[in-house]
Structure formats: structure tokens, C-alpha cells
Amino acid sequence: MFSGFNPMAFVDNLKYMLSGMIAIFIVIGIIVIATIILNKIFSKK
């Protein structure tokens, strides 16, 4: 529910944005590496 106007909350929560984006890039990066390895091991010759 609408809880008033608190512009400082934007600044306070930027840490979640940063850590969220870093985490998502790390997870996707690991998946990319895993997929490249999979492709290398099981590629059709």
C-alpha cells in the first residue's frame, strides 16, 4: 500500500540493484561457460 513519499528510499535501495545485477550476470555467466563446455564436449563432429 502507498506509504508516503520517501525519495531517500531510492538511494538506500540502489545496493539491491547493484547486487541483483551483479548476481544475475554471475549466474548467467556460469551458465554460458557451462553451455560452451557442453558444446565443446558433445559437439557433433
Residues contributing to the site for another protein (CB under 8 A):
1-7, 9-10, 12-14, 16-17, 19-21, 23-32, 34-36, 38-39, 42-44
Tell me how far, at minimum, the Cβ of 35 lies from another protein, in Å: 4
Cα–Cα distance, 45 to 40 (Å, whole number) = 10
Tell me how far, at minimum, the Cβ of 20 lies from another protein, in Å: 5
Set of cell numbers at residue 40: 565443446
Cα–Cα distance, 1 to 4 (Å, whole number) = 9
Tell me how far, at minimum, the Cβ of 40 lies from another protein, in Å: 10
